């Protein structure tokens, strides 16, 4: 299960698993929003593993809304305690939770790549109903890499939209080996880029990543 879950995957924890987490981290159990997270059927997000994570556990994150300090809490669950998993929401599905002045940019992004997904403040507001978005929020996105379509021009196309956007566009173009921050992919084909995968980071060239040949 741990290898099968890509970064940014949204998961639901079992009641038993969540009870273990709360007993392991009593300081979190004292926070009502955290203690009640699983009971409210809210997800966690798969993150990159840290050195302190135990082998065989699935590394997870729980980002709190600004009203609760905008903390990013690192947790880990055993594979057996994951009862559901899903890709992050599509930008199209989450768009209704976005402010009105974001809608034109979201429309352009969806025209560019309808399969675009979101994983940051917009995604969490959409998934939980809690107020994550603020005037300074970024729009965090995942663009699936499809070399057969327009992978070579995708970074520059995103860049053109970003120049006119009222918010900062952040996120990764995602291939089979992992994701690369989209701004790193604007440059010469031989430029080195960092690919963030489920088990760590590897380096390759821009051309090799956009070709889709990494696995």
Tell me the catalytic residues.
Answer: 138, 140
d(CA 197, CA 101): 33
For the chain, strand residue ranges (E) read: 10-13, 44-46, 58-63, 72-77, 82-86, 117-118, 139-144, 169-175, 178-181, 192-197, 200-205
Alpha helices in the chain (DSSP H): 15-24, 26-29, 32-35, 91-94, 103-112, 121-128, 154-164, 206-211
């Amino acid at each position: 299960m741990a290898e099968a879950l890509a970064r940014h995957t949204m998961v639901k924890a079992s009641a038993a698993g969540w009870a273990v987490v709360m007993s392991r981290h009593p300081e979190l159990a004292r926070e009502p929003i955290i203690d009640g997270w699983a009971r409210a059927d809210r997800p966690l997000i798969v993150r990159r593993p840290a050195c302190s994570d135990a082998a065989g556990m699935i590394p997870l994150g729980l980002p709190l809304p600004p009203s609760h300090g905008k903390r990013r809490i690192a947790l880990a669950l055993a594979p057996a305690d994951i009862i559901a998993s899903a890709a992050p929401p599509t930008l199209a599905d989450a768009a209704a939770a976005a402010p009105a002045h974001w809608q034109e940019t979201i429309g352009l992004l969806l025209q560019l790549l309808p399969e675009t997904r979101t994983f940051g403040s917009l995604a969490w507001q959409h998934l939980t109903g809690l107020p994550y978005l603020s005037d300074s929020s970024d729009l965090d996105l995942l663009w699936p890499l499809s070399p057969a379509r327009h992978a070579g021009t995708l970074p520059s196309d995103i860049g053109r939209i970003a120049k006119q956007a009222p918010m900062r566009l952040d996120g990764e173009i995602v291939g089979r080996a992992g994701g690369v921050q989209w701004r790193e992919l604007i440059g010469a084909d031989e430029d080195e880029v960092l690919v963030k995968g489920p088990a760590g980071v590897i380096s390759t060239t821009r051309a090799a990543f956009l070709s889709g040949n990494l696995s």
